[in-house]
Amino acid sequence: MGSLFATESINGQVIVYSRYCPFKPIKLAVIGAGNVGASTAYALMLSGLAAEIVIIDVNQSKAEGEAMDISHAVPLSSQTRVYAGGYRDLYDAAVVIVTAGVNQKPGQTRLELLQANANIFQKIIPEVAYHAPKTTLLIATNPVDVLTYVAYKLSGFPSHRVIGSGTVLDSARLQTEVGAMFDVNPRSVNAFVIGEHGDSEVVPWSLATIQGMRLRDFCNGADIPYEEKSVRACATRTKTAAYEIIKRKGVTDFAIASALTTIVRAIVRNEDSLLTVSRVGTYAGVEDVCLSVPARVNSKGARTLSRLILEPEEEEALRSSALQIKEAINSLMDPMQTS
């Protein structure tokens, strides 16, 4: 009879795990040690998903400081080795999360960040592809849809292994708003955002439910009025949430870190979770574009299950969002291909 345990060597350290445990020791990498990167590394450490987390930043001292700070929380949470490293440390990372880039300023749209962050990606993504050719790329840098497409092109990876954080965070914000409006736990709300992670995002209200009941049916059953104007205001507040947060604290980081951790968990635990991540595909008749619809996320990456059945106005809004992203992609990729 074979041993109940198996061993694996990670950077010279022998780690023992049970053969009956479905999860092997995992290395995760975070590129970018700014607010989002540091918060993400911290959230990942707390999650207990990884045996190792490596933080990489052009400012090595900043990466070291963040790694040291997070490491000091390890005895109070999950046993994880957290350290600052370089691109060669990516070689066996299961997921590489890219948060590096210029931050969104108050009043600035995500698309206005495009050129600066695309230039940064031209330096980062080829390094990732060279040192970690089998990893799954998870992009968080804004504008995330266009930069996920850029990462797909620069890496040469198949589309299912290049994932943007997309509208996972927007969907959580929407669930929070709907939960508050109807005075229910947001976890009981099944509503999501599709399209761009940005100003053209779409809420398919025809698919929104609370505990399996469409919103109008829930209101009828609870004997409360259904107000179309108030419901649509939830979508507006969802769309503008980042602007409001940035205006007050200068950055959004905690919620996106949680969203990224949710996506990473689905990958490393092979969950087959349906998440509104951003990936390259054809949407509402627009080919070779990157945006969010619910996709199955597991250890192989992300794959779209089937076309959403939307109301005509929702389908048109999704097409409009896709065309806007496509225009931004075209404006960027043409000069990149000739440079």
Residue type, 153: K
Q: How far apart are CA 15 and CA 96, in angstroms?
A: 21
DSSP β-bridge partners for residue 27: 52
DSSP β-bridge partners for residue 95: 28, 136
Q: What is the mean pLDDT of residues 20-24?
A: 48
Tell me whether residue 11 is annotated as binding: no
pLDDT digits 0-9 by tens, 248-307: 999 999 999 999 999 999 999 999 999 999 999 999 999 999 999 999 999 999 998 878
Q: What is the mean pLDDT of residues 79-89?
A: 96
Q: Which residues are catalytic?
A: 197
Tell me whether residue 220 is annotated as binding: no
Tell me whether residue 264 is annotated as binding: no
Has residue 28 got a pLDDT over 60? yes
Which is more confident, 327 or 103?
327
Question: Would you say 209 and 122 are in contact if contact means Cβ atoms under 8 Å apart?
Answer: no
Tell me whether residue 36 is annotated as binding: yes
**Three-state secondary structure call for residue 143:** coil
As a CATH number, domain 27-164 is 3.40.50.720
Tell me whether residue 212 is annotated as binding: no
Letter string b/e over residues 159-179, b meaning 16 or more CB atoms within 10 A of that residue's CB: bbbbbbbbbbbbbbbbbbbbb
Q: What is the mean pLDDT of residues 204-218?
A: 95
Question: Would you say 29 and 93 are in contact if contact means Cβ atoms under 8 Å apart?
Answer: yes
Q: How far apart are CA 157 and CA 56, in angstroms?
A: 21
Has residue 110 got a pLDDT over 90? no
As a CATH number, domain 167-337 is 3.90.110.10
pLDDT band at 332 (very low <50, low <70, confident <90, very high): confident
Every domain of the chain and the residues it spans = 27-164, 167-337
Averaged pLDDT of the chain: 91
The encoded tokens of residue 285 equal 């008749």
Tell me whether residue 117 is annotated as binding: yes
Global pTM value: 0.90
Q: Can you give the length of the chain in residues? A: 339
Half-sphere exposure at residue 259, Cβ-oriented, CA atoms within 13 angstroms: 25
Q: How far apart are CA 113 and CA 64, in angstroms?
A: 27
Q: What is the mean pLDDT of residues 212-220?
A: 94
